[in-house]
Chain A
Amino acid sequence: MEIVAFYIFAAIAVVASLLVVGQRNPMYSVMLLITSFGALAGLYVLLDAPFTAVTQIIIYAGAIMVLFLFVVMLLNVPREEPLAAAAATLVGPTGMRVGAALSVLLGIEMVWALSRYGSVPFDPDFGVEISDVANIGKMLFTQHAFAFEVTSVLILVAMVGAVVLARKEH
């Protein structure tokens, strides 16, 4: 039963990501990426990590993608421009084909390397301790407290930076 759910979510994630990369309209890309995030949230639930699943929806699908959507709407770029034929080698058609080939090679390599473990199952006892949000809170605020504080400063810097960069110059 879990395997069926895994395959469904995995199929949705892969197909949606392929379409994000493959299709022309940036608005559709954003919506497809939201679908992909939803599928990943489902996978996190299967991995006994409900807090991460919900955080994924809140932060990624609920905030970051709204930001992307706003920018796409405000810039109002129509479909993608076709590639200029006389572009430099690195960015021209040859460059793109080499890049695509390298990515496919990367994909094959990763699938080969990561499947070398064989069919190792998860330990079902670990699931209970992991899904408890209180544990995450304890670790986050004791062992990783410094990273937590630094992250809040990082977000402040990003906020100020975004406002400054996108400001109209007078």
Chain B
Amino acid sequence: MVPYTYYLVLSGILFAIGTAGVFLRRNLITVLLSIEVMLNAVNLMFVSVGRYRGTVDGQIITFFVMTVAAAEAAVGLALVIALFRHRETLSPDAFTSLKW
């Protein structure tokens, strides 16, 4: 049997990788991808805690997190498309001032 802590540690590592991605990447789409990595790490933790406590609540929360992630990805990508139309670039550095 796999001990409980292994899943938690894995979730922590994935979360840190996602955070590093948000800091380090200069491409808006890859930043969104790193946010998805973070959300997945959190899902893993919810499911493993649910399995440990013996309740189904972990999976239910995961269900909601997935739906919210889908909504957020859709709106985020729509924003990226709108931004790309104005500046022809996907680098976050191009959007540092409030005026077009």
Contacts and interface: CB of A to CB of B under 8 A. Distances in A.
Are A and B bound to each other?
Answer: yes
B33 A29 contact: yes
Interface string B53-81: 11111111011101111111111011111
Contacts of B55: 130
Contact of A33 (B19, B36, B57): B36
Given A21-B21, A21-B34, A110-B13, A154 B73 contact: no
B30 A122 contact: no
Interface residues of B, number: 76
Contacts of B64: 144, 147, 151
A68 B30 CA distance: 10
B74 A111 contact: no
A155 B37 CA distance: 21
A17 B54 CA distance: 29
A121 B24 contact: no
Contacts of A115: 5, 8-9
Nearest to A6: B2
A126 B77 contact: no
B16 A52 contact: no
Interface of B: 1-21, 23-27, 29-30, 32-34, 36-37, 40, 43-44, 47-48, 50-60, 62-64, 66-75, 77-82, 84-85, 89-93, 96
